[in-house]
Structure 1
Amino acid sequence: MISTFAKAGVAALIALSGLSATASTASAGPDVRYGIYVQDGYRHGGPDRGRPGWDRPDRGRDRCAPWMAEEKASRMGLRRAQVVDVSPRRVVVAGFDRRGRDRIVFANVRGCPVIRR
């Protein structure tokens, strides 16, 4: 009977020490944050501005310039590259590679990332 109480006491002591160890690690949680953040690229303006980002003086610099898309396509191996379509979302450059006619589609954002080849 005494050994049963001793075993129950040791088990309770282990449980309490485990509980205090978990509480200390759980309280350290505010330093690490997880989440999904969406950045829209606009400066959200001050008091007398109507829509956010419309007052940006550098609005044209965050797009893919057609000449930049042509240069990038020629560096990727497209000969006689020329822009055939420009839309708000993409810039299409057509030309010739080793197999014949080919086209490269760039995103119309800063840096001209390749969407499709």
Structure 2
Amino acid sequence: MTNILVKTGLAALVALSGLTATASTAAAGGPEFRVFVQHGWDHRDRDHRRDRWERPRRDRGGRCDPWLAEEKASRMGLRRARVVDVDRRTVTVVGRDRHGRDRIVFANDRGCPVIRR
């Protein structure tokens, strides 16, 4: 009877020591790096205190404005750029470059992305 109790106690001791060994290695997940900022500048205050050298963006709307398409086309090297067609999906700008007449088609979306040149 004592032999069975000794073996049971020894088995329980081995099981508990194995359980604590696995828990300590599982808890040591690796090095962590965290940065906590408690006081200071809040990004939500930026809209209320706009810096004086920062101009407000004019292309905040959901569409490509014709003046923005003309500006972008002239920055891309098109001289005498003018808008000739605006529809639901595209804004077409024509003008002249080094090789003659050229056109640029912009998507009618924010920022006027170029579709084709």
The normalised TM-score by structure 2 is: 0.49
Larger Rg: 2
